């Protein structure tokens, strides 16, 4: 009976540990050359992306990195370290979960980014890093590396599903951060009244002010 149970459990885990990239954008499937691919090590769990819980980002992949596919743009990925360490030769174990760190990426179509961190080598190392965990996001093509930001936020995917996390409801798609609109430059109307006003202002300037104005106009 025990071997049968073991085989059934192994089959269930294999079914859950699916391979292949995870599509985190809406709409039909797109070529990888039009997307941003984010590689996530198996010891990292995604807390949220751009403030949005995305449970699909933590799909089980066994010991393989997860590949998340996103639309090009800017993203802030909050992730934390979680690992199980054997104690007393495997007789017991301890789960170490760290604070979260925020990884920033600005991905262009076809980019591959990887979340990296200094992996603890021992249980003691993992314990020491629980409150100071951070890492980096690296562009695999260009070698650009962006340092992560340490935060104090800490939770699990189960907490998110239960509602203990960011205010937004969990979704399986996420949009890039909106690009702030550039400020518009005000222009004066091109008429005689404007010219007269400028002439009066010119007369009010002293010699140093007129020199500064001409230098500015030349630039």
pLDDT, tens digit (0-9, with 9 covering 90-100), for 89-126: 778 999 999 999 999 999 999 999 999 999 999 999 99
Residues 81 and 36 in one domain: yes
Residues 143, 204 within the same domain: no
Structure tokens at 131: 């409150």
The answer to whether residue 51 is domain-embedded is: yes
In the prediction, which pLDDT does 55 show?
A: 93
Model pTM greater than 0.85? no
Can you give the pLDDT at residue 208?
79
Structural domain ending residue among the three candidates 161, 181, 200:
161
Position 173 in a domain: no
How confident is the model at residue 8, as a pLDDT?
39
Q: Which among 197, 180, 177, 179 is positioned nearest to 188, based on CA atoms? A: 197
The CA dihedral of 153, 16, 111, 52, to the nearest 10 degrees, is -30
Question: What residues make up the domain containing 45?
Answer: 18-161
């Amino acid at each position: 009976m025990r071997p049968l149970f073991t085989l059934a459990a192994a089959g269930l885990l294999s079914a859950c540990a699916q391979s292949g990239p995870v599509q985190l954008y809406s709409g039909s499937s797109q070529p990888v050359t039009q997307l941003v691919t984010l590689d996530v090590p198996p010891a990292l769990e995604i807390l949220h992306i751009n403030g949005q819980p995305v449970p699909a980002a933590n799909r089980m992949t066994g010991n393989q990195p997860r590949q998340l596919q996103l639309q090009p743009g800017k993203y802030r990925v909050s992730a934390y370290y979680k690992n199980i360490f054997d104690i007393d030769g495997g007789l017991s174990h301890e789960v170490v979960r760290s604070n979260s760190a925020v990884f920033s990426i600005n991905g262009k179509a076809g980019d591959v980014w990887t979340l990296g961190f200094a992996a603890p080598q021992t249980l003691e190392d993992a314990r020491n890093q629980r409150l100071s965990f951070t890492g980096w996001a690296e562009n695999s093509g260009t070698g650009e590396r962006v340092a992560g930001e340490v935060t104090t936020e800490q939770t699990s995917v189960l907490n998110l599903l239960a509602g203990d996390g960011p205010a937004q409801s969990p979704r399986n798609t996420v949009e890039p951060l909106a690009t702030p609109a550039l400020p518009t430059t005000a222009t004066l109307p091109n008429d005689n009244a404007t010219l007269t006003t400028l002439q009066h202002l010119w007369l009010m300037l002293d010699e140093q002010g007129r020199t500064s104005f001409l230098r500015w106009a030349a630039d």
